[in-house]
Chains A and B, each alone.
Chain A
Amino acid sequence: MELAVQLIVFGTLMGLVFAFISLGLSLIFGVMNIVNFAHGEFLMVGMYVALLTSTYLPLDPLVSLPFAGAVGFLLGVLSYRFLIQYILRGPMVAQLFGTFGLMLFLRYLVMFIFGPDVRSLSHGLIVGKSVSLGYVTIDVSKIVGAVLCLMLFAVVYWMINKTRLGRALRATSLDPEAARYMGIDTEKMNALAWGIGGATVGIAGGLLAHFYYITPTIGMVFIMIAFATVALGGFGSISGAFLAGLIIGLIQVVGGQYLSELKFTFIYLTYFLAVVFRPRGLFGW
């Protein structure tokens, strides 16, 4: 019983973070039908931003979140302007290898600058503290991270569904040509989708840095989680990504409890089973 409550709580908290990480991937896919392999690397850059601001500036790592978001936004827009724009015109293979190349480039750029060492945040307002709630003892950083992810997810969801800008984005994703006739600058919308994708995942990285180790190769782990989440929720579906994130969080935590060496195997298998047997996802159209 105790264990069950603990697993559900941890799974839900991780799930909220996973959902927020996958949001940008799903958005980019929805708008221009391209899978961003570099998404996990954007997350890793966000983690390093949090690490650097808290190491070299007299700031709490929580304050670094806007920086992480800004860096992520910039990274997304620049990637679009200098790479994605061109590979979108090419065949599918080129698109795949283009974002793949971007992923490797960012990973090894960070490795070149900071070396391959594993680091973690050493100090901060919510780092290393925990609270007891009835059955379970939880890290404060996980609670804060999950709650912030939930709130930011809601903000982005609202932005996409209720604002004028969001409507233009959705129009672009439904039919780019028709959107152009309506006077929407679709190029700008594509760049914006990359910007939002980068910003959300950058902030997620800043939050994740509070309770996860930081290394240049960490992106790989999270890109696979994000792929599984997006596949399970339905590629391009944002509400689907939210629910799938929670499911993946539970799978990962429960799997990690009983077979810790194979906890990622369950996630890979989830992707595989999801795309093979239900390609439109649990909540896809």
Chain B
Amino acid sequence: MGRILRDIFSFADRPLSERIAFVIFLIIVLAFPWMVKPAYAKVVMIKFLLFAMFGLGWNLIGGYGGQVDLGQAKNVGFGAYATALMMLHWNIPFWLTILPGMMFATAESFAVAYPMFRLRGHYFAIATLCVALVWKELFVFWDWTGGARGVEIPIKATPDFTYMQFGETGYHYFIFGLFMAQFLFMNWFRKSRLGYELMAVRDNEDAAESLGINVTATKVKAYCIAAALGAMGGSFITAYYLYIDPDLVMPMDLSILIAMTVMVGGSGSIWGPIIGAAILIPLDMYLGAWLAGGGRYGIDFMIYSFIIMIIAAREPKGIWGIVERVRKRR
């Protein structure tokens, strides 16, 4: 027990400079609602924390596991829909809906994982894309989930803790709490037995197998855990927007954005998702909004994809890869 606690909170394996940078990051995030006045900046901050969290979940399967999953949006959708439908149809408090959403995402991932992990590389990536698209079409088709119109959560008159309705500052600390929970989980995970097994499988499947690691079981476990982490963020989206539809929580663009965040920041590193989200989300929110105001769509995604192409061609390990190379040279 003590060992697990130490693994969760310890960053002893990281250099001092990184630990200091992380503390500064935490102080900035905690003080943010009191320091920064513009309402839009607060929205950007919440979205940044949300996508940093999505990135953490994706990093588990895509970074530490090396399995390019292009269907994380389906898990976000499961979480969002579980929360929305349970709150709407059965009036269940928000707090009791997070776990069922995560459980459903895990169960679904477990069901599709075995056939899926017969595939490798490109085949696997396209298969995850297909599965996510099938789920999206089913949710559009299905009346009980609101179809293409989506689900709207009734707004409470007063701030309500059981249904998670309050002001922007409340959401800020709420998403920060969820983010920290996942971050600390990932900090434990990367030092856990499963984490090491997963990295061994990523680096050399045959060698891992010869050491007695069950390759498929390891991948399946990682895939299911990543699904659960994604679903948690989905629940937050429902509480935050109070409205969801398949195009908001399950589109392919969301899957791509999640994966890109990690790729840009640096996959397989604990800091990667945070760095990636810190670059891509403000870029999207400020540049994209500014240009869409002038009637121009898509330039934010053009810049994204340009960054992605350069990173793919020059530095597959992302920005964190550059940092580590510079450090090694010194």
- Identify the A interface with B (CB < 8 A): 34-35, 83, 86-87, 90-98, 100-105, 107-109, 111-112, 115-116, 216, 220, 224, 227, 231, 261-262, 264-265, 268-269, 271-272, 275-277, 279
Contact B309 A262 (CB under 8 A): no
Contact B298 A108 (CB under 8 A): yes
- A100 vs B127: C-alpha distance in the bound complex, in angstroms? 15
Residues of chain A with a CB closer than 8 A to B131's CB: 268, 272
Interface size class of B (residues with CB under 8 A): 35 or more
Contact B122 A96 (CB under 8 A): yes
Contact B309 A102 (CB under 8 A): yes
List CB contacts (< 8 Å) of B138-156 with chain A. Answer: 138, 140-141
Contact A98-B312, Cβ < 8 Å, known A111-B297, A275-B123: yes
Give 10 A-B pairs besides A35-B122, A104-B302, A105-B309 with Cβ atoms closer than 8 angstroms: A35-B126, A90-B313, A90-B316, A91-B316, A92-B122, A94-B312, A96-B122, A97-B312, A104-B256, A227-B130
28 sampled A-B residue pairs with Cβ under 8 A: A90-B312, A93-B62, A93-B263, A94-B311, A97-B260, A101-B306, A103-B305, A104-B301, A104-B304, A105-B302, A105-B305, A108-B297, A108-B298, A109-B302, A112-B299, A216-B298, A224-B129, A227-B130, A262-B138, A262-B141, A264-B133, A268-B134, A272-B115, A272-B127, A272-B130, A276-B116, A276-B127, A277-B115
Binary contact track B286-330/A, C-beta < 8 Å → 1, others 0: 000000000111110110111111011110100000000000000
- Identify the B interface with A (CB < 8 A): 62, 66, 68, 115-116, 118-119, 121-123, 125-127, 129-131, 133-134, 137-138, 140-141, 252, 256, 259-260, 263, 267, 295-299, 301-302, 304-309, 311-314, 316
SS of A interface (majority): helix
- A103 vs B125: C-alpha distance in the bound complex, in angstroms? 15
Contact A92 B121 (CB under 8 A): yes
Residues of chain B with a CB closer than 8 A to A104's CB: 256, 301-302, 304-305, 308
Q: CB within 8 A of A265: which of B138, B302, B308, B314? A: B138
Please, which residue of chain B has its CB at the minimum distance from the CB of A104? B305
- A115 vs B297: C-alpha distance in the bound complex, in angstroms? 7
Residues of chain A with a CB closer than 8 A to B263's CB: 93, 97
Contact B68 A96 (CB under 8 A): yes
Contact A220 B252 (CB under 8 A): yes
Contact A269 B134 (CB under 8 A): yes
Contact A98-B313, Cβ < 8 Å, known A108-B302, A275-B119: yes
- In the assembled complex, the CB of A257 is this many whole angstroms from the nearest CB of chain B, namely 16
Contact B312 A112 (CB under 8 A): no
Contact B313 A86 (CB under 8 A): yes
Residues of chain B with a CB closer than 8 A to A94's CB: 311-313, 316
Residues of chain B with a CB closer than 8 A to A111's CB: 297-298
Contact A276 B122 (CB under 8 A): no
Q: CB within 8 A of A97: which of B115, B130, B308? A: B308
Contact A276 B126 (CB under 8 A): no
- A274 vs B314: C-alpha distance in the bound complex, in angstroms? 34
Contact A224 B133 (CB under 8 A): yes
Residues of chain B with a CB closer than 8 A to A220's CB: 252
Residues of chain A with a CB closer than 8 A to B118's CB: 276, 279
Contact A109-B309, Cβ < 8 Å, known A104-B256, A265-B137: no
